[in-house]
Amino acid sequence: MSNQDYETHTVRIEKLDKKGSGMGAVWRDAGGSNPRKLKLNVPQTLIGEEAKVTVSNPNRKLARVLPDEIIKASSERITPPCPHFEKCGGCVWQHWAYQDQLEYKTNHVKRFLEQHGFDTDVVKDTIGAEVPWEYRNKMEFTFGRDGSLGMHELGNFRKVIDLDTCLIAGREMVEAMLEVSEWRKEFNLSGYDKDEHTGLLRNLMVRQSQKTDELMLAVFATDSPDGTLQNAVEDLIERITKKFKNVKSLMWMENTDWADMAQSEKTHTLYGRDYINDEMYGYKYRVWFDTFFQTNPTQAEKLVDLAIEMADAKEEERMIDLFCGVGTFSLPFATRVKELAGIEIVESSIESAKRNASDNGIDNTYFLAKDARRGMDEVLKSWGIPDLLMLDPPRSGAGGKVMRRIGRLQTDRVVYVSCNPETFADDITWLRDFGYELEQVQPVDLFPHTVHVEVVSLLRRIDG
């Protein structure tokens, strides 16, 4: 590489981007008559730090580079405990002291609310995890084209880091992943090549209930488990069931689609059943491979606690749970109100919600597989105006049309649970025009060492 192909710069980190990487800028040819600004995205750096970076092909306006050296370190920097941190794309902030992560997340929520003119005094400090490690109950690992098994390399979706540990996943889940990796090596089975669309093994999903201890493994592959693979699959069943006595579901999922997603065209249950039993907040749930279930149930129970506290539901009240999923919030609330209607557009989630209500002996729920606005209209015709509405939309938010429909509903209280402070702030802006005031916002950290933060909030109608 010639000297013209790269440049070395010292950059000061001014802020963090949406993915948690440091951002800074340098001026190239600063001594000339026409200096050019080069914006730099530098993962694994913190605000206020100075880093030495090497930029290849620097004749551009933006470059993403890992630091060669931290010249001036932040007082908040710590040594990452995971040996894979510098290369693995699974965590972004293991180099940052946990309490400082929480403070940043609180300010992150305040920043978006302030942009929309809300009083940020209603935002409380982020509730952190007592133990910010081994918190995940679900992991999706990827097989690389060379057969490696782990997570994608930071900034390189084509390469997979062959993991020998993962500090955010349950310990037994990691052991199961390593056992599958050894099995692949012994039978010399090929990993999947995303570019050529060739190879056998694509993904491994591992789920484990932190309450029941039941374990699920799902291998995603481009061929069926029969024929030439029969001996290998029989060996997989034997070694997994022998080593992990609590495995209740071992599945082989055929997936030949071009899309790089852990999905199944045909499911083969190799051992046990096609779901595991889980519990959260004292309620039982059946969890399939594609069920959306809170990934950090310990912190998720705090979300439920907060939502119940803010809602102050009364036993004579009627309630709507919008974007209800499989009933994570619906079941605890149903025992506190007269009637609850859960609305969710995904039919399989609604079927699960109905089954979960039945399994828990709850008979005052009404679940609708409809989009949010049509579902609210149907409930309005049956009940009139509900007393309480709760919503927990996806990261993209509920959107203006749904929020305006909520505003026109004129229910007394709205509890909004969000996994995206930016869309949360956008959404609740619509409710101001309908006489609602933001009373409380409580951030909760469900995903330590990542940029994500959840919020639970209460809005109350003050215009009568």
**Distance from C-alpha of 382 to C-alpha of 340, rounded to nearest angstrom:** 12
Residue 369 Cα to chain centre, angstroms? 23
**Distance from C-alpha of 458 to C-alpha of 441, rounded to nearest angstrom:** 7
Q: Which two tokens stand for residue 39?
A: 């914006």
Helix (H, G, I), strand (E, B) or coil at 239: helix
**Distance from C-alpha of 311 to C-alpha of 304, rounded to nearest angstrom:** 10
Taken in order 209, 210, 212, 215, the sign of the CA dihedral is positive
CB-based contact 170:210 (threshold 8 Å)? yes
In the annotation, is 419 catalytic?
Answer: yes
Q: Which residues pair with 173 in a beta bridge?
A: none
Helical spans, DSSP H, in 46-170:
98-115
What is the phi/psi pair of residue 321, to 5°? -110, 105
Q: Which two tokens stand for residue 410?
A: 């004129």
Q: Can you give the C-alpha Rg of the chain in angstroms?
A: 25
Catalytic residue among 88, 91, 166, 419: 419
Residue 411 Cα to chain centre, angstroms? 30
Q: How does strand 201-208 pair with strand 138-143?
A: antiparallel
Lateral strand order in the sheet of 69-72? 6-12, 50-56, 69-72
Q: How does strand 22-28 pair with strand 15-16?
A: antiparallel
What is the phi/psi pair of residue 352, to 5°? -65, -40
Catalytic residues: 419
